[in-house]
């Protein structure tokens, strides 16, 4: 299906992807013969490879698309989707209770990755357990429960709570244990799994509170904090990418991280790097490293420049079915970029840090670290080129989509012909979500906004540290036009000595620069002021020694008056 533009391709493929997704859901789906109601088949392919099974992960991701569709459009809502969602919830409750090779409902059976489509256990050898499934299923059902509550149906929300609770309890009890990753090849810790577990526990705590399950609120909240702390460990600061798997002997460059970013997207969190939001500096740096790793290993990517879109796969060392590009991974890159554009447009600015600088310099070689308002030419130039870049990944998939619109799992790395399992349900789901992201349609917030992580004096991670005090910093500093004064220091609220995350002061009473900020109460910390040239992005630090202060007690305020140390 060769299309000259992303819009042309989306117009043709959008309805076909929706139809392809629904065709793979039992019992009425045209490709899902033999599947129980609400059961998602991974693919109707029965040989080389045989994907005629239902995976907990894939089913949750597919039904998250359906739940979001149903909740998004009250005027044009397809009522039949509601029946499908209820069928899914019922089928998943049955699968939870089924004894399988991973155990039973109390001994680890929720970590079983796949089942037969007639609601019986798959007993063959496989990579098990896989601990992402319960988290993803909980996220989907929590999203549905939230819709029910918003529409005055608390009774039904309480009906599906036991299914949600079982999954959340499994996640809370097993988040710090290894398991097979989403590609089912490596048993280790996985960024994708940890990110999903964090979101599930964070959302689960909120729902538990709403439903009056106070006994579970603290449990889920505590483990949500634990997983968020663990999530930080995947970042590779030396190479500026996310090490997606801790085992397997590979580089760790993996689509797992791109998929995690888009499936834990919370537009209210902005470009937060702690939860690796799509437009965060870490997620963008990681995206560049990931995409670039495929530039020289696929024949169909030859001839494209270093800042053009290409086909991407699971990870550069992949050899499965010949090691080809995947539709869903290439769509995922586009979706992360579209999500980023939505947030930048919403907040009216984008920020470039030293971490994300190489990503942005693909589109403007002379751009520097700094903050760029939407009205500036730099912002307009960058966002325009990034949108075109995102469209390029969509049209890349379009170039290798058959005229009938069917989406297999992969396409040949040298000839672009559909490969591996045909009509992959997750491929259709990824097309739908990337197309919606291009329209600027964003999901509901799930609780990522405002989360903070810092390390205490003993090296322990603390999420959302406790009581704060109000400090007003005031410094006298002469500047020239185009310079701004910032403060950074040894606590997370001041950027942990990273000038890219420093706090900007206001020259309201020039030459005095002032800022008011909350910091941990009764805490001793050090800090310095820095000046940034907004044109070059360079920082100039004041001289040693560092300033040091002990903040006031909780709820109290104090004013700190300083003189710039030349």
Its sign, for the CA torsion 289, 8, 424, 275, is positive
Q: For residue 459, how many other CB atoms are within 10 A of its CB? A: 6
Work out the average pLDDT over 340-366.
Answer: 96
What's the whole-number mean pLDDT along residues 232-241?
A: 96
Render pLDDT for 463-474 as a digit per residue (tens, 0 to 9): 876 677 889 999
User: What is the per-residue pLDDT for 422?
Assistant: 97
| Residue 324 to residue 311: CA distance in whole angstroms | 9
Would you mind telling me the total number of residues written for the chain in this entry?
A: 566
Q: How many CB atoms lie within 10 A of CB 129?
A: 24
Q: What is the per-residue pLDDT for 492?
A: 74
CA–CA gap between residue 271 and residue 283 (Å, rounded): 9
The pair of structure tokens assigned to 437 is 């992201």
For the entire predicted model, the pTM comes to 0.84
H or E segment and range at residue 475: strand 468-476
Using CA atoms of 321, 323, 328, 333 in order, give the dihedral in degrees to the nearest 10: 180
Q: Which residues on neighbouring strands pair with residue 531, listed in sequence order?
A: 485, 540
Q: Is residue 183 part of an annotated ligand binding site?
A: no
C-alpha distance from residue 523 to each of 462, 487, 515, 519 (Å) = 14, 17, 18, 8
Tell me the average pLDDT across 500-527.
Answer: 89
Question: Which residues, in sequence order, are CB contacts of 302 under 8 Å at separation 6+?
Answer: none
Q: What is the mean pLDDT of residues 517-529?
A: 88
Q: Are strands 557-563 and 539-541 parallel, antiparallel or unpaired?
A: unpaired
DSSP state of 471: E
Q: What is the per-residue pLDDT across 167-196, written as a single tens digit (0 to 9) for each? A: 999 999 999 999 999 999 999 999 999 999
The pLDDT assigned to 268 comes to 95
The predicted model gives 271-278 an average pLDDT of: 97
Q: What is the pLDDT of residues 17-71, one digit of tens each?
A: 999 999 999 999 999 999 999 999 999 999 999 999 999 999 999 999 999 999 8
Q: Does residue 2 have a pLDDT over 60? A: no
Q: Which two tokens stand for residue 112?
A: 């079983």
Give the Cα separation of 121 and 119 in Å (integer): 7
pLDDT in the model for residue 466: 66
Q: Which residue would you say has higher pLDDT here, 438 or 494?
A: 438
CB atoms within 10 A of CB 449: 14
82 confidence band (pLDDT: 50, 70, 90): very high
Q: Which DSSP letter does residue 179 get? A: E
Q: Mean pLDDT across the stretch 320-333?
A: 98
pLDDT at 521: 84
Task: Decide if pLDDT at 501 tops 90.
Answer: no
Q: Which residue has the higher pLDDT, 397 or 508?
A: 397
> Which pLDDT does position 464 carry in this prediction?
78
Domains and CATH numbers, the chain: 6-438 (1.50.10.10), 465-563 (2.60.40.10)
Give strand pairing partners of 550: 524
- Cβ neighbors of 304 (< 8 A, separation 6 or more) are 295, 310
Question: Residue 56: which of 124, 157, 139, 178 has the closest Cα?
Answer: 139
**Catalytic residue list contains 181:** yes
Examine the pLDDT at 75 and tell me if it is beyond 70.
no
pLDDT for the residue 306: 92
> What do you get for the CA distance between the two ends of the chain, in Å?
64
Q: What Cα–Cα distance (Å) separates residue 32 from each residue in 21, 38, 46, 54, 402?
A: 10, 10, 12, 11, 21
Average pLDDT score over residue span 456-479:
83
- Over residues 427-440, the pLDDT tens digits come to 999 999 999 999 99
Return the minimum-mean-pLDDT range out of 248-252, 452-456, 513-517: 452-456
What is the rounded distance in angstroms from the CA atom of residue 396 to the CA atom of residue 300?
A: 10
Q: Choose, from 68, 181, 339, 409, the residue flagged as catalytic.
A: 181
DSSP alpha helix (H) spans, 400-514: 425-438
Please tell me which residue in 184, 345, 371, 533 is annotated as part of the active site.
184
pLDDT of residue 74: 67
Q: Virtual CA dihedral for 194, 195, 197, 200, nearest 10 degrees?
A: 180
Please report the beta strands in 322-406, taking only residues with DSSP state E, as ranges in sequence order. Answer: 349-352, 370-373
pLDDT score, position 77: 66
Average pLDDT, the chain: 94
Q: What CA–CA distance (Å, rounded) separates 24 from 450?
A: 39
Q: What dihedral angle (degrees, nearest 10) is formed by the CA atoms of 308, 314, 318, 321?
A: -100
- pLDDT, residue 452, reads 87
SS3 514: strand
Residues 88-140 have pLDDT tens digits of 999 999 999 999 999 999 999 999 999 999 999 999 999 999 999 999 999 99
Query: 552: left (phi > 0), else alpha (psi -120 to 50), else beta?
Result: beta
pLDDT at residue number 457: 62
Q: How many helices (H) and strands (E) does the chain have?
A: 13, 21
Look up 58 and say whether it is catalytic. Answer: no
């Amino acid at each position: 299906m060769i299309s000259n533009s992303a819009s042309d391709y989306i117009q043709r493929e959008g309805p076909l992807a929706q139809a392809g997704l629904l065709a793979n859901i039992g019992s009425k789906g045209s490709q899902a013969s033999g599947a129980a109601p609400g059961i998602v088949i991974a693919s109707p392919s029965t040989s080389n490879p045989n994907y005629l099974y239902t995976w907990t992960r894939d089913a949750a991701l597919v039904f998250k698309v359906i739940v979001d569709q149903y909740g998004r459009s009250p005027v044009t809502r397809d009522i039949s989707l509601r029946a499908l969602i209820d069928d899914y919830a019922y089928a998943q409750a049955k699968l939870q209770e089924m004894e399988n090779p991973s155990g039973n409902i109390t001994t680890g059976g929720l970590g079983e990755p796949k089942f037969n489509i007639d609601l019986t256990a798959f007993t063959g050898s496989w990579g098990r357990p896989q601990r992402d499934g319960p988290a993803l299923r909980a996220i989907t059902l929590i999203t549905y429960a939230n819709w029910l509550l918003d529409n005055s149906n608390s009774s039904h929300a309480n009906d599906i709570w036991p299914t949600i609770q079982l999954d959340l309890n499994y996640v809370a009890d097993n988040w710090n244990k290894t398991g097979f990753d989403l590609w089912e090849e490596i048993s280790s810790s996985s960024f994708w799994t940890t990110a999903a577990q964090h979101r599930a526990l964070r959302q689960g705590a909120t729902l538990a509170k709403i439903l009056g399950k106070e006994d579970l609120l603290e449990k889920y909240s505590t483990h949500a904090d634990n997983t968020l702390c663990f999530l930080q460990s995947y970042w590779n600061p030396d190479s500026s990418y996310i090490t997606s798997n801790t085992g397997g002997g590979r580089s760790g460059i993996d689509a797992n991280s791109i998929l995690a970013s888009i499936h834990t997207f919370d537009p209210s969190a902005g470009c937060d790097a702690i939860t690796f939001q799509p437009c965060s500096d870490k997620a963008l740096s990681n995206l560049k490293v990931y995409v670039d790793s495929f530039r020289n290993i696929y024949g169909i990517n030859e001839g494209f420049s270093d800042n053009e879109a290409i086909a991407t796969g699971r990870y550069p060392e992949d050899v499965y079915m010949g090691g080809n590009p995947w539709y869903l991974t290439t769509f995922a890159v586009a979706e992360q970029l579209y999500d980023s554009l939505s947030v930048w447009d919403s907040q009216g600015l984008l920020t470039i840090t030293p971490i994300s600088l190489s990503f942005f310099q693909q589109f403007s070689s002379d751009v520097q670290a700094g903050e760029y308002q939407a009205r500036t030419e730099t912002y307009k130039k960058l966002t325009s080129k990034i949108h075109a870049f995102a469209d390029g990944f969509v049209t890349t998939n379009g170039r290798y989509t058959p005229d009938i619109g069917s989406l297999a799992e992969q396409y040949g790395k040298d000839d672009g012909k559909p490969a591996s399992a045909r009509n992959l349900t997750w491929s259709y789901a990824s097309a739908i979500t990337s197309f919606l992201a291009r329209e600027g349609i964003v999901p509901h917030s799930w609780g990522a906004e405002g989360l903070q992580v810092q390390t205490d004096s003993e090296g322990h991670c603390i999420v959302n540290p406790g009581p704060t005090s109000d400090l007003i910093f005031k410094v006298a500093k002469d500047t020239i036009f185009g310079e701004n004064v910032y403060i950074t220091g040894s606590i997370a609220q001041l950027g942990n000595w990273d000038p890219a995350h420093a706090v900007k002061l206001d020259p309201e009473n020039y030459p005095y620069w002032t800022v008011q900020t909350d910091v941990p109460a009764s805490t001793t910390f050090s800090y310095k002021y820095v000046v940034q040239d907004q044109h070059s992005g360079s920082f100039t630090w004041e001289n040693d020694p560092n300033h040091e202060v002990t903040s006031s007690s909780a709820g109290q305020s104090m004013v700190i008056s300083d003189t710039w140390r030349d």
